[in-house]
Every structure is written in structure tokens, then in C-alpha cells.
Amino acid sequence: MKLAVDIGGTCIRLAIIDGKKIICKESIISEPNNFEKNFDEITNITKKWNYEIDYIGICCPGPFDPDTGIIINSNNLPGWNGLPLRKRFEEAYKIKNIKMNNDANIAALGQYVVRNNLHSLLYFTISTGIGAGFVFDGKILNGYKNTALEIANAIPDLSAENITKSGIEFIASGRNIFNNLRSEGIEIKDTKEAFDIYYKKDNKIVNAYFEYIEEKYIQFFSTAIYFFNPEIVVIGGSVAMNNKEWYEKIFDKVIEVTKDIGYKTKLEFATDLDDSTLLGCAMM
């Protein structure tokens, strides 16, 4: 049996998987500064399940070193940074067949797995931050140094004070829509409220900002399609999933912009993201 471990900043989800079937699953609360507590909980749950495990697939926040299995610098799990994660699982479960990858890549693979007979899939998660993953013929594209699709600073603003933090995530993610509008004097408590104000169309500053990020998203998605020519683009993450109508208008414009490639790229929202990510852990 395969053990899938999806490590997130809020919760850690575990599942036993046979083929494409989830046999059992459980979730525990993440302890950002107490790895040992979480690791004990993981091992206790799997002992209770009492399945013979011959493979472990781990989805974790990045950046991490895939060679050593060490999380390098997770803002959401600071107490996990620098720990030999793969080695700890090897020792606890007495197996070497352990694979790890970052959360966006595994989410991409999971969305690929739950759709049948795909050539390729390009996935974007738009939530607190913005991430991506690309799957071709069932394989994740990792890149030369395993940083392919680390797209936070894609489409950078070369006139910005800090050009390394000026790209798409820093203007259009959930966290930064909120931060940037607050810096312009808009009193909001979260990004949901920012969208609510925008939908009313009666605040010039908010309207202008959303028009700006809409243009950036169209450039961003269109450029990705030109580079990868995916069969399908899938969008997930809380910001996208809670504002589908707005993103659907962006999709329409992206299709118009990229029609010269001779293929109308499919653009869809993620489905069964929790379970599909667990399946992605098992299919690396």
C-alpha cells in the first residue's frame, strides 16, 4: 500500500492509497513549531491503520531540497525548517521508496490523475500566494535545479524598488491584493472584502487596481500557454475558487489572445482538490 502525506501550514492530511483508490484518510492540525508532535501523530495513525506500506509520497511546502529531503525555508512551518524529513520517514517506516515534491507540483499531478487520457496539464494555485505546476505525460516538470514553475516573480516590474518581489504574486495573490489596497488607503479586513467592493464598482481606487491585476493575469496565463502549449490549464486556490465569474472573464480574454496557436486551450477550475492532491502524492 502507498502512504500519502500532504503537509500544509494549517493541517496535515494522510491517506492509504491502493491504485487510484483512497482506502482511508485522516487529518491532523499542523504544529508550525513542533515537528515531533506531528510526526508522532502521523506514525500513530498509520500504526492504527495497520497496512503494510511500501511507498510514501510526501507533498510539502517549498522551497525544499529534493536530494536531501529537507525543507529549506517554510514561512508557515518554521519549526520544520532544516529537518531531514525524508530520513525521518525512512527510519520510522524502514523503507527507502519515498518521494517528495512541493505542494503546487503535487496538486498539478493530482488534477492530472483525476482527469483521464491527458497529454499535459498546467496548474495554477491562486490563494494566499501564487504557485504552479506542469505535468507532461504523467511526469512533473521539475527543472534543472527543481525550481521550474516557481512563478511568484513572473512578469516582474523592472521599475520596482525590489524587482525580485514585483511579479504576479506580489500584486495579485490573496495576501498582496489586501496589502496593496491597504497601502493605498482602502480600509478592508481581507481580500474577500476587496472583491466585494470591486463588484459594487463604486470605488475608483479598487476598480483601477482590479483592472490592473486583470491585465497582468491575462498576460501571465497567455504567456504560460505560449511557453507550454498545455492541453488544459487548471486553476485552484481559495481566491480563484471563490471568484470564479471574475476569472472566467479572464479566461475568455486569454483564449482570445492565444487563438493564433491554432488550439483553443481548455481552462477549468480544480475539482476534488483535497483527494486529488493525496492521489498525486501516491503517483509521483
**Full pLDDT tens readout for the chain, 284 residues:** 999 999 988 899 999 999 999 999 999 999 999 999 999 999 999 999 999 999 999 998 877 787 888 888 777 789 999 999 999 999 999 999 999 998 999 999 999 999 989 999 999 999 988 999 999 999 999 999 888 999 999 999 999 999 999 999 999 999 999 999 999 999 999 999 999 999 999 999 999 999 999 999 999 999 999 999 999 999 999 999 999 999 999 999 999 999 999 999 999 999 998 899 999 999 99
Strands in 120-126's sheet, in edge-to-edge order, are 139-140, 130-136, 120-126, 232-236, 266-269
Beta strands in 127-224 (DSSP E): 130-136, 139-140
* Per-residue pLDDT, 257: 97
This prediction's pTM: 0.91
Distance CA 249, CA 8 (A): 30
Give me the domains of the chain, ranges plus CATH numbers: 2-96 (3.30.420.40), 107-271 (3.30.420.40)
* Per-residue pLDDT, 147: 87
Contact 33, 76 (CB under 8 A): no
Distance CA 157, CA 129 (A): 18
